[in-house]
C-alpha cells in the first residue's frame, strides 16, 4: 500500500483519484478541478503542455538517463549553459540533483566545505525562524517549523532569527566569526506559512555577509521562476549559492540544481583531490529532466511569463481587496501567491471538500488557506479560485 506524505495513515481522508490532467485542470472520475496548488507549486505551465511533453518523448527515444560520473550529454550541457545565461551575475556553476531537499543539502555541504578547504573552522549556520528547506536531516536542522520537525528535535549549530534587520545585526555581532553561511527562503517563506518580508532585509544580509565573509544561500526552490513577482529574488540581491527546484522542470519530473558563483567554485578548484565536492546523486543531470527543464525555461521567456504573473497579482489584489472576516487574521499577497491566514486552523477543516465540490483543488495546511496557481490560468479561472476561498467564510 501507499504511505502518504505528512499523513496519519489511520485517520487520513481518502485522497482524490486523478485520472487525467490538462492545462490548469485535474480530472477525477466525476469532477473537473482547477489546481490552485500547482501540484506543490511546480506545475507552472499547466498539465500536459504539448511542448514539454514533446521534449520528453523526443529525449526518451534517444536515452532517458545516463550517469554523470565520467559521462556527459547534450541535454545537461545545454541546460547548464542556459542557466548560466538566465541567472544573474556569476551564478554559473550548476550542480544537479534529484530534489529540492537534496539540492539544499548540497548547498550546505558546499558552504561548509568551502570553509574547511580554506582552513577555517567556522561551525555555525544562520537561518530564519519558520524556515522550511526540505525534509532531509540537515535541511530540517536549518528549518524551523515545529509542525514538521517536532519528532526529530536536535539543534546545535544553527541560529534562527526572525526577518527583522535588528535581529540580523545582533546575530552577526555575536557570531560573525562562526557562521559559514546564512540560508534563507528569500522574500517568501512557503511551507512555514506563506510569510512575506521585505527586500531591505536581504540587502542588509548581503552587506553583512560581505563584511564578515559569510556565504549567502538563497533557497529559491519555491520562489524561483516568478512566484514572488520577480524572476528570481536573486535578481534583486545576488546570493553566493542559489538553489532551484520545483518549477525547474515545469513540474514534469523531480529535479533540482545548486548553482554556485565564481568565488565558491574557486574554493574547490585545486590540485588537491581532497578539496573536491564529494557528492553525486544517481539521477543528477537526468536527460529527460534536463530536456524538459530547458524547454520550460524557453517557454518562460518566450511567452512572457513575468507579464502573466503581474496579471495574476493584479487580479488577486483586485478580488481580495477589502476582504475581511472575524475568523481571518491576515490576507497576504505577493506575485503568484495569496494566503489567507486564520486565527484558528480548525476553521479550515472541511474546506478542501467544499472547494472540491465547487471545482477547485486546494490543500490548506495549519492556519493557512492559499493559492499558488499555474501561471497559464485565465482570469475567470483565477477569480473562481478566489471566490471559492472567500465563499468558505460566508457559508
Ligand X SMILES: *Cc1c(COP(=O)(O)O)cnc(C)c1O
Distances (CA, A) of 216 to 184, 205, 207, 243: 8, 8, 10, 11
Q: How far is the CB of 256 from ligand X (least distance, A)?
A: 6
Q: Judged by CB under 6 A, does residue 133 bind ligand X?
A: yes
Nearer to ligand X, 191 or 369 (CB): 191
Q: How far apart are CA 244 and CA 329, in angstroms?
A: 31
Name the residue with the smallest CB distance to ligand X: 100
Q: Judged by CB under 6 A, does residue 249 bind ligand X?
A: no
Residue 231 DSSP label: S
Annotation says 368 is catalytic: no
User: Among residues 46, 75, 186, 190, which is the contact residue for ligand X, using CB under 6 A?
Assistant: 190
Q: How far apart are CA 278 and CA 190, in angstroms?
A: 30
Q: Judged by CB under 6 A, does residue 99 bind ligand X?
A: yes
User: Among residues 100, 239, 251, 336, which is the contact residue for ligand X, using CB under 6 A?
Assistant: 100
Helices (H), 159-304: 165-175, 199-212, 262-266, 287-302
Q: Is 1 exposed, middle or buried (0-12, 13-18, 19+ CB in 10 A)?
A: exposed
Nearer to ligand X, 33 or 102 (CB): 102
Q: Judged by CB under 6 A, does residue 251 bind ligand X?
A: no
Q: How many chain residues interact with ligand X (CB under 6 A)?
A: 15
Q: Which residues pair with 251 in a beta bridge?
A: none
- Contact call for residues 215 and 182 (beta carbons, < 8 A): yes
Interacting positions 196-225 with ligand X (CB under 6 A): 219, 221-222
Q: How far apart are CA 139 and CA 180, in angstroms?
A: 15
Annotation says 132 is catalytic: yes
Nearer to ligand X, 233 or 369 (CB): 233
Q: Which residues pair with 125 in a beta bridge?
A: 158, 181
Q: Tell me the window of 110-118, 128-136, 202-210, 283-291 that interacts with ligand X (CB under 6 A).
A: 128-136
Annotation says 246 is catalytic: yes
Q: How far apart are CA 254 and CA 248, in angstroms?
A: 9
Footprint of ligand X (CB under 6 A): 99-101, 104, 132-134, 185, 190-191, 219, 221-222, 245-246
What residues are labeled active site?
6, 132, 219, 246
Amino acid at each position: 500500500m501507499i504511505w502518504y506524505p505528512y499523513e496519519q495513515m489511520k485517520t487520513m481522508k481518502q485522497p482524490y483519484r486523478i485520472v487525467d490532467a490538462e492545462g490548469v485542470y485535474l480530472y477525477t472520475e466525476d469532477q473537473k478541478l482547477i489546481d490552485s496548488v500547482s501540484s506543490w507549486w511546480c506545475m507552472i505551465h499547466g498539465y500536459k503542455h504539448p511542448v514539454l511533453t514533446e521534449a520528453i518523448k523526443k529525449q526518451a527515444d534517444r536515452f532517458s538517463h545516463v550517469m554523470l560520473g565520467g559521462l556527459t550529454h547534450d541535454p545537461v550541457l545545454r541546460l547548464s549553459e542556459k542557466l548560466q545565461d538566465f541567472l544573474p551575475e556569476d551564478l554559473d556553476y550548476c550542480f544537479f540533483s534529484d530534489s529540492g531537499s537534496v539540492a539544499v543539502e548540497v548547498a550546505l555541504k558546499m558552504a561548509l566545505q568551502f570553509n574547511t578547504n580554506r582552513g577555517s573552522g567556522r561551525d555555525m549556520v544562520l537561518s530564519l525562524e519558520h524556515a522550511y528547506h526540505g525534509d532531509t536531516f540537515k535541511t530540517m536542522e536549518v528549518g524551523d517549523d515545529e509542525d514538521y520537525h517536532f519528532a526529530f528535535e536536535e539543534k546545535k549549530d544553527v541560529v534562527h532569527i526572525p526577518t527583522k534587520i535588528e535581529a540580523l545585526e545582533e546575530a552577526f555581532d555575536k557570531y560573525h566569526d562562526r557562521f559559514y553561511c546564512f540560508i534563507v527562503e528569500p522574500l517568501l517563506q512557503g511551507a512555514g506559512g506563506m510569510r512575506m518580508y521585505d527586500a531591505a532585509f536581504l540587502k542588509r544580509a548581503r552587506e553583512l555577509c560581505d563584511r564578515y565573509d559569510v556565504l549567502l544561500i538563497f533557497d529559491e526552490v519555491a520562489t524561483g521562476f516568478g512566484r514572488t513577482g520577480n524572476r528570481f529574488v536573486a535578481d534583486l540581491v545576488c546570493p553566493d549559492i542559489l538553489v532551484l527546484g520545483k518549477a525547474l522542470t515545469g513540474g514534469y519530473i523531480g529535479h533540482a540544481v545548486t548553482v554556485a558563483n565564481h568565488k565558491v567554485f574557486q574554493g574547490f578548484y585545486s590540485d588537491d583531490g581532497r578539496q573536491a565536492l564529494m557528492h553525486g546523486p544517481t539521477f543528477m543531470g537526468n536527460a529527460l529532466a534536463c530536456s524538459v527543464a530547458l524547454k520550460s525555461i524557453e517557454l518562460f521567456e518566450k511567452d512572457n511569463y513575468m507579464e502573466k504573473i503581474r496579471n495574476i497579482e493584479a487580479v488577486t489584489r483586485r478580488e481580495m481587496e477589502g476582504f475581511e472576516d472575524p475568523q481571518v487574521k491576515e490576507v497576504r499577497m505577493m506575485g503568484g501567491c495569496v494566503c489567507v491566514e486564520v486565527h484558528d486552523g480548525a476553521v479550515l477543516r472541511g474546506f478542501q471538500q467544499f472547494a472540491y465540490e465547487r471545482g477547485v483543488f486546494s490543500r490548506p495546511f495549519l492556519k493557512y488557506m492559499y493559492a499558488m496557481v499555474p501561471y497559464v490560468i485565465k482570469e475567470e479561472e483565477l477569480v473562481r479560485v478566489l471566490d471559492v476561498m472567500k465563499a468558505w467564510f460566508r457559508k
